[in-house]
Amino acid sequence: MTHKILVLPGDGIGPEIVAEAVKVLNVFTAEGNLSVELEYANIGGIAYDKEGQPYPDSTRALAQKADAILLGAVGGPQYDALDRPLRPERGLLAIRADLGLFANLRPAILYEELASASTLKPEVVAGLDIMIVRELTGGIYFGQPRGIRVLENGERQGFNSATYTESEIERIARVGFETAMKRNKRLCSVDKANVLEVCELWREIVEKVGKEYPEVELSHMYVDNAAMQLVRAPKQFDVIVTSNLFGDVLSDAAAMLTGSIGMLPSASLNSSACGLYEPIHGSAPDIAGKGIANPLATILSVAMLLRYSLNRPELAERIERAVKTVLASGVRTGDIYTEGDRKVGTAEMGDAVVAAL
């Protein structure tokens, strides 16, 4: 069976890092272990430049037929002056909504070899391994009504709506519990139920779904406390499940605890097996085109792609092991370099992973 993979290199360092990830896929196809058909399309700023839209219809048509999507990154300062609907990040929001990618899995893992990169004390973060399950197609990101209106007194008022239905909460809660079942069976649901009604419903439904997972130890935490606890004692968490906005903030904080966001992949899944896989770091326009970006987060995104969309966990593990081998050998891109390591560029790092495979 041949899997259709849509590759969306995007902006900034996107094309460079995606190229290395594709090298890794090619190892498996060359071995005869995997059959994939790669198609390429535009998203973000480059899509606006070439096709006038951050998520063009041509990309959309390919995305809807793909088994999985590999994305680099979107955005760049040259697009800041565009009208909002045309900006690169709107392409990202559009593809999430279009494909119903409601479950965003964001691991925050501290690699032993990179422990010193964290701004936190080693004993606080050693062995850190959290999975954040973020709802990605609901909440205040997509809630209606929204806009800027003029009130009776002539003043403008900006307004957005944070909404969640029972079924939206139920399906993301289920992903949270299933994820916890595959890990250490602890799930922390983060909300602000002491202030927001939408979170009251969230908590009620998460509790209800929890009844089906008696083995999972479920806890609830307010988002302000969760932000504190991530700084105070992050290792208390196994899996966190939360809304779109809270997940945006907490997953970035959690990623930064590791000190090496150049290492962290993500998966965005829908209710069929199709998923979008991307590094959590951005397009890093300042270093784009220099061949120095770290491709490991994108390579590890391919591992997630193999695990979640292509159901090939053994290939995913091979990639993850290869990355660890490379790190253990002291090979480093600039972002994770410390004295005594061997500093390499993007392509060399990709080659090192290929060699380790």
- Show which residues are catalytic: 141, 192, 224, 248, 252
82 annotated ligand-binding residue = yes
151 and 181 Cβ atoms separated by less than 8 Å: no
- With binding defined as CB under 8 A, does residue 83 bind a second copy? no
**Interaction pattern, residues 91-120, with ligand IPM; x per rule: CB under 6 A:** -xx---------------------------
> Is 224 one of the binding residues for ligand IPM (CB under 6 A)?
yes
Residues whose CB falls within 8 Å of the CB of residue 182, separated by 6 or more in sequence, listed in order: none
Asked whether position 89 contacts ligand IPM by CB under 6 A, the answer is: yes
String of DSSP letters for 234-277: GGG-SEEEE-HHHHHHHHHHHHHHTS-GGG-EEEEE-SSS-EEE
Which residue's entry shows tokens 């009130």?
151
Q: Kindly state the number of chain residues that form the binding site for ligand IPM, as judged by CB under 6 A.
A: 7
- State the nearest-atom distance from the C-beta of 33 to a second copy, in Å: 37
Query: Is residue 151 exposed (0-12), middle (13-18) or buried (19+ Cβ within 10 Å)?
Result: exposed
| Burial of residue 197 (number of CB atoms within 10 Å: 0-12, 13-18, 19+) | exposed
Binding mask 200-219 for a second copy (x = CB under 8 A): xxx-----------------
Q: How far apart are CA 296 and CA 300, in angstroms?
A: 6
Is 284 labelled a binding residue?
yes
Residue 77: CB partners within 8 Å, gap ≥ 6?
Answer: 285
Token pair 């770290």 is at which residue?
294
Based on the shown chain and the rule CB under 8 A, indicate whether residue 85 belongs to the binding site for a second copy.
Answer: no
Task: Compose the 176-195 pattern: x for residues touching ligand IPM by CB under 6 A, - for all others.
Answer: ------------------xx
* Contact footprint for a second copy (CB under 8 A): 84, 87, 89, 93, 119-121, 124, 140-141, 143, 146-148, 151, 155-167, 192, 194-202, 223-225, 227-228, 230-233, 245-246, 248-253, 255-257, 261
- From the annotation, which residues make up the binding site? 76-89, 96, 106, 134, 224, 248, 252, 282-294
* Contact footprint for ligand IPM (CB under 6 A): 89, 92-93, 194-195, 224, 248
